[in-house]
Structure 1
Amino acid sequence: MPGPLIHADADAFFASVALRRHPELLERPVVVAGGPVVACAAYPARAHGVRAGMSLLEARRACPGLVVLPLPGDEVEAVSDALLRLFAELVPAVEPGSMEEAFLDTSALSWSAAERLGHELRARVRRELGLPVTVGLGRTKLMAKTASRAAKPDGLRAITPDEETALRHHAPLGELWGVGERTRARLELAGVTTLGQLDRLDPPTLHRLCGTTMARRLRAMADGTDDAVVRPVRARRTLSAEAATSGWGRPDRTLAELVDVVVERVCHRAAEAGLAAATVTVLLRSGGEVRSGGEVGSGGEARTVRRGRLPRPGADPAEVRAVVSELLADHPEPPEILSVTLGDLVPADRPQQDALF
């Protein structure tokens, strides 16, 4: 029987990075903010009902002793890279889920060996990066992520195959990774609130309520045939990085400075993964009015998306910067957030004629 997968997730990541400089605040209710809104709440603050996305005014009302620290944007990106590098030292394949979490391929290990590795991982991240990390072990990605959620904060939990069947049957739809509120609401109206109750719906009805892709995914979750393959960064088709113009207590950056930071970051990630890009996508976000060629994003934010191609496949910062600068030539004012995505990625050692053009 193959071993489990590991889901490793750094706890309250933004807050934990900021608290490395303030160990005296570890037991205090702390949030980090990049403006008038909470970006991340440490667990003592969460105990008072403070959550990400809450206004600082609301957060202070909920927790009068709240401590607000600046959002450590650039440091967060650097720590994220270091965290993923550490993961990659321990296992043959790592699939990042976000900047602070990833699935690790330990399928060649026994369950006991994978659990020992999970403890080693947590100890190394604490020692080398000063961060708490929660680890979950499971036969599939769903089970590994479910285990890590149950172990938070700063713990380790394994969901063994013996536990899995009963857990799947009783799993509430609202706690399933990747199942959105609309899908859950439609299924609840049909009398389905757990995975085990999916059997009440025939396949055409399930497809009608959820769409073909989600219906298949839910059915696989219920049957235990859901995704158990760790796909490393080298298999990724895109890589992104972003940075903000300013932060809480941090001076503004010019657009050129912002471009330099983001381009260096995303090109470094591509080079580390041995990937070459063919396309570049630039996303600018702000809370102001939509500019020419822009669109309205979620929450009413202004979004401008522009795309270009590199002269040849690669991840050279100078070439990527030139494309980004050309795409932003008529956009002199810096946005609140700039994101650069390298797309159509292929292994850098593949002949150039094989790249997508």
Structure 2
Amino acid sequence: MDPAELTDASRLRSRATILHADADSFFAAVEQRDKPSLRGKPVLVGGLGPRGVVATASYEARRAGARSAMPMSRARRLSPGAAVLYPRFEAYSAYSRVIMETLGTLSGLVEPLSIDEAFVDLEAGSFGDDPGGAAAGARARIRELTGLAVSVGIGRTKLVAKLASDAGKPDGLLVVEPSDEDAFLLPLPVRAIPGIGPATAGALERLDVRTVADLRRQDLDVLTMTLGVSAGTNLFRLARGIDLRAVGPGGERKSVGAERTFAEDIYGAERIAAAIDQVTDEALRRLVAHGGGARTVVAKVRFADFTTLTRSVTLPQPSAERAELRAAAHLAARAAGISDSVRLLGVSFHNLSAHAQLTLAWADEDAAPPPSVDEPDATPEPARGPRLLTEATARAGVDIEHPTLGRGWLVHLRGSHATVRFETVTTPPARSQVIDLDTDPLVLVPPLPPTLGR
């Protein structure tokens, strides 16, 4: 392809009117907002078991070196004073709806990327002439309604808007006008460009490419020979700020996954099963980063003769449970006919949902899922009784209620003794109290609405 054709900017906008919004440290920020005693303190949200991973680290925990997708055990060592909480997707989904609805007031073209991130086409609304003012107003309204900070970047392309919101974190607003694009883009590390992972970065490092400016100096032929035609051509464009992707409401990510090609074919049921677990765990980390759950699990198997098969398992409802998704991956792989040798394994999650019905065991494989509520035999739809806090239903951070002390959240449970803070978004910080569940039961309750404390 002609490099001049690839770098033709005539189809790009003349104004910076694409907005990228990203809630800062979203899960942890929601927890800090709902739990006054955690405000300004390090918080880790994720799994608590031996293989638990961090879904989100607050900025206080990040300063100690903790980050998302890190093993929880390592994050706890780096930030030993951090509160470690199980994710509450019901709460996060409610906050997400408020954020997305507020962004929807700016334009009819809002493209959600995940539970806490979206693009907005301001030219499709009434704010094309004042993108900065529109962004400032939306950020202020989101803070008023939810108490959360949202970082915003604005550019004439999705690429620049996304990089601008990253550069503006935390709690920033950065508008990059077309005339300022080169000054903004060229000094950035090449890893800042979306899609450049460790393998691609390593290949570019061998070309002495460390910044976007270095990348721009590479010939198209060199990039395509090094990275392949598709990836090389794409990076050749992006290094010059050429990104023709439009904002579209149907643009939410459809799947996440991972695959691994083995240096030598693997044999034996135990080795293959272990490999399925490893690939599934990598896909799970990406699902955690995306937010929410998945309903369909697809396994891809390539055999020694290069025959490739894919099979899928669809769950009754979206799930983010590690054990359930792992089991589905094994079922799908067996359905593909794994026999005695495998060259490649892949696992991907489809039919993604930010509003999954979750018991949240995705990052804590040793945790027992909460039991279902038994219903009496009756012809009418029976009323469900209150769900009590027990060892089986206990998760650090869950919402609970006491008949006289009111609402609060679980710090931890040891036997029948629950350590609880009775506080909500509308109360002052509370001290921990120990409740004996044998004599003073606590009830699990849904999170309060995001806008209650505004």
Q: Quick one: structure 1 residues 86 and 292, their matched pair in 2 at CA, closer, same or farther if it must change by over 3 Å?
A: same
Does 1:178 find its partner at 2:195? Answer: yes
2:255 and 2:236 map into 1 onto residues whose CA distance is 30
Q: Give the structure 1 partner of residue 282 of structure 2.
A: none
Q: Give the structure 1 partner of residue 204 of structure 2.
A: 187
Q: Could you say what secondary structure the match of 2:21 adopts?
A: strand
In the TM superposition, what is the alpha-carbon distance from 1:152 to its structure 2 partner? Answer: 0.8
In the TM superposition, what is the alpha-carbon distance from 1:105 to its structure 2 partner? Answer: 0.6
Q: Quick one: structure 1 residues 199 and 20, their matched pair in 2 at CA, closer, same or farther if it must change by over 3 Å?
A: closer
Please show how residues 99-248 of structure 1 align to structure 2 within 5 Å: 99-107=115-123, 113-227=130-244, 229-233=246-250, 238=254
**Residues paired across the two proteins, number:** 271
2:348 and 2:167 map into 1 onto residues whose CA distance is 39
Does 1:35 find its partner at 2:48? Answer: yes
1:135 and 1:48 map into 2 onto residues whose CA distance is 25
In the TM superposition, what is the alpha-carbon distance from 1:34 to its structure 2 partner? Answer: 3.2
1:183 and 1:262 map into 2 onto residues whose CA distance is 28
Does the 8 Å contact 2:111/2:252 carry over to 1? no
2:40 and 2:57 map into 1 onto residues whose CA distance is 12
Q: Quick one: structure 1 residues 61 and 136, their matched pair in 2 at CA, closer, same or farther if it must change by over 3 Å?
A: same
2:177 and 2:218 map into 1 onto residues whose CA distance is 28
Q: Give the structure 2 partner of residue 291 of structure 1.
A: 330
**Taking every aligned residue pair, what percent have the same amino acid on both sides?**
34
Output the TM-score relative to the length of structure 1.
Answer: 0.66
Q: Quick one: structure 1 residues 124 and 215, their matched pair in 2 at CA, closer, same or farther if it must change by over 3 Å?
A: same
2:248 and 2:176 map into 1 onto residues whose CA distance is 21
Q: Quick one: structure 1 residues 50 and 212, their matched pair in 2 at CA, closer, same or farther if it must change by over 3 Å?
A: same
2:188 and 2:19 map into 1 onto residues whose CA distance is 20
Output the TM-score relative to the length of structure 2.
Answer: 0.53
In the TM superposition, what is the alpha-carbon distance from 1:138 to its structure 2 partner? Answer: 1.3
Q: Quick one: structure 1 residues 83 and 280, their matched pair in 2 at CA, closer, same or farther if it must change by over 3 Å?
A: farther
2:213 and 2:348 map into 1 onto residues whose CA distance is 43
Q: 1:2 aligns with which of 15, 22, 31?
A: 15
Does 1:50 find its partner at 2:66? Answer: yes
Q: Quick one: structure 1 residues 139 and 83, their matched pair in 2 at CA, closer, same or farther if it must change by over 3 Å?
A: same
Q: RMSD of the TM alignment (CA)?
A: 3.5
Q: Could you say what secondary structure the match of 2:93 adopts?
A: helix
Q: Could you say what secondary structure the match of 1:227 adopts?
A: coil
Does the 8 Å contact 2:109/2:120 carry over to 1? yes
Q: Quick one: structure 1 residues 34 and 119, their matched pair in 2 at CA, closer, same or farther if it must change by over 3 Å?
A: same
In the TM superposition, what is the alpha-carbon distance from 1:224 to its structure 2 partner? Answer: 2.4
- The aligned amino acid for 1:63 is S
Q: Could you say what secondary structure the match of 2:202 adopts?
A: helix
Bigger share in helix: 1
Larger Rg: 2
Please, which runs of 5 or more residues in structure 2 have no aligned partner? 1-13, 257-292, 296-311, 337-344, 352-358, 363-454
Please, which runs of 5 or more residues in structure 1 have no aligned partner? 241-260, 264-278, 308-333, 338-357
